[in-house]
């Protein structure tokens, strides 16, 4: 996707199942590893269908 200039985001689901500290730690690890190979990182969004977390972020990015 990145090589072909196709915009995308990384979406993590089930954010209601773990603590915010664990989520932030996981995101930091993903960013650190991806930075080794990517100049610009995609957007990361954590979501939960139970709480609605991330819903507005996804909708605002994908509005047509």
pLDDT per residue over 7-57, tens digit each? 888 999 998 898 989 999 999 999 999 999 998 899 899 999 888 899 888
Give CA separation, 52 vs 9, 25, 32, 34, 59, in Å. 18, 21, 27, 27, 12
Tell me, what's the pLDDT at 64? 54
pTM to 2 decimals? 0.74
Tell me, what's the pLDDT at 60? 86
3: pLDDT strictly greater than 70: yes
DSSP-derived letter for residue 18 is: S
Q: Please enumerate, as own/partner, the contacts of 21-30 that have beta carbons within 8 Å and a separation of 24 or more.
A: none
pLDDT band for position 63 (cuts 50, 70, 90): low
């Amino acid at each position: 996707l990145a090589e072909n200039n196709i915009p995308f985001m990384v979406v993590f689901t089930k954010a209601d199942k773990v603590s915010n500290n664990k989520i932030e730690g996981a995101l930091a690890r993903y960013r650190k590893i991806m930075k080794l190979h990517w100049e610009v990182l995609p957007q990361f969004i954590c979501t939960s269908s139970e709480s609605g977390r991330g819903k507005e972020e996804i909708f605002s990015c994908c509005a047509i």
